[in-house]
Structure formats: C-alpha cells, structure tokens
Amino acid sequence: MVRKVFAKPAAAAIVLFARAITAVRAIWPTEGAPLGQCIYFANHSSHGDFILVWAVLPPRTRRTTRPVAGAEYWLKSSISRFIGRDVFDAVLIERDRDKRTHDPIEVMATAIDAGSSLILFPEGTRNQTDASLLPFKGGLFHLASSRPDVRLVPVWINNLNRVMPKGEIVPIPLICTVSFGSAIRIEADEGKEAFLERARTALLDLSPKHAGGSA
C-alpha cells in the first residue's frame, strides 16, 4: 500500500526527468495517435527505451499501457522492483527458460485480456551492434497469432543510445524522437518468417537512417 502511494508521483517525476534530459517529442503518422488497445513494438538500445515511449503517449493511453521487461533486471533490487512493478506496472518475463514457471506468451496475452496495451522489444535484447536492428525473436509473432485483433504499432526510438551510452552513469542531454508508424495486424495464415519480416520492415521504415535522414 505504501509503495502504491509513492508510485504515481514517482512516475510523474521520471517522465519529467526523461523529457528534461531528452526534450523528447512524438512523431505520429498522418492518422494521428492510435486509439484503443495496441501492442507497441520498438527498437531496443537502452534500458530507458520504454520510458521514452511511455512518456510521449497521451496520458489516458499511458495509464493503461504496460512495458514488457526482463524479470531478472527489474527484480534485482528493491528500487528496481519498485520502479518496475509499482511505478510502471511492467509485465515481467523471465528470460531464462530454465527458471520460467509461466509461458511468456500467456503472461502477455493475459495482460492484453485484462485491457492493457503493451510495449515490447522484438529484438529480445539491447542492440549494441552497428546494425539498425537485430533479428526479431518469435515472441511478437506468437503474441500476434494468439490475439490477432489487437493492432501492432511500430515505434522507432532515435538517439537514446547516445543519451545513455553503455557503461555511463550520467546521461548526456540530447534531443530524442519517438516515431510511431501506422498499425499493422497479422494476416490470416501468415507464416512466422513472413510476418516478422513485414513487422521488421515497418519498424525500419521509421528509422532516420533508413529514410535517408540524419541519425
């Protein structure tokens, strides 16, 4: 109960801090911000990625949107547990198969059935390479297959890896953008590889490098 009392002001403080450091702005598709329940799938280069996505969502949408995150990271200390569980209400997934007690797809599907939108990272881990995107894991396909009516919204986070480079403690103030693409859905009888390639292309199309702009 005490944790819940502090969760709301902590969330507001984290959003304000993220905005102050990054001057983050959302770039929406021509049809505007998506309405209703969505699965936002984004590129992943920093532990702060979901915070930026969460910070630029409209307040009403933000209240029902939960990040999907690794349990081993967010449960490792009392502070991270408070932030992950109480502040962001993260859907925590055990990435070590040997330690799992629940199917990750079922855990995410249950959150969707309860009315939540999700933020997830189909690369599965932070991209520390020179490639724009790592290969997608199969989770996005299996989740989309289990809940085919939920819209899938690609989201490109630009510059956050330069705000908080690996190994740095103090963030470097830089302008970041969060670009949202048009929603897609899995098609009937669409195979795993075809779907993941289509989803990956939809995400890459939002990258400034891929579009020929500046990074």
Range of the domain at 65: 2-211
**Model pTM greater than 0.85?**
yes
Instruction: Fill in the amino acid letter for 68.
Output: V
Q: What is the CATH number of the domain that holds 32?
A: 3.40.1130
DSSP 8-state code for residue 184 = B
User: How many Å apart are CA 188 and CA 176, to the nearest integer?
Assistant: 36
Instruction: Fill in the amino acid letter for 162.
Output: R
Task: For residue 174, count other CB atoms closer than 10 A to its CB.
Answer: 16
| Residue 48: predicted pLDDT | 78
| Rounded mean pLDDT for each run of 10 residues along the chain, 215 residues in total | 74 86 89 91 86 90 92 83 88 82 92 97 86 92 96 90 56 80 95 97 89 46
Is residue 151 classed as helix, strand or coil in its secondary structure? Answer: strand
The count of structural domains within the chain is 1
User: How many Å apart are CA 196 and CA 137, to the nearest integer?
Assistant: 8
| Residue 215: predicted pLDDT | 39
| Residue 214: predicted pLDDT | 40
Reading the block at residue 19, the tokens are: 């905005």
- For residue 184, the number of C-alpha atoms closer than 13 Å in the C-beta half-sphere is 22
| Residue 170: predicted pLDDT | 52
C-alpha 28: how far from chain center? 16
| Residue 1: predicted pLDDT | 54
User: How many Å apart are CA 11 and CA 44, to the nearest integer?
Assistant: 21
CA dist list (Å): 44 to 41, 68, 127, 169, 200: 9, 12, 6, 18, 13
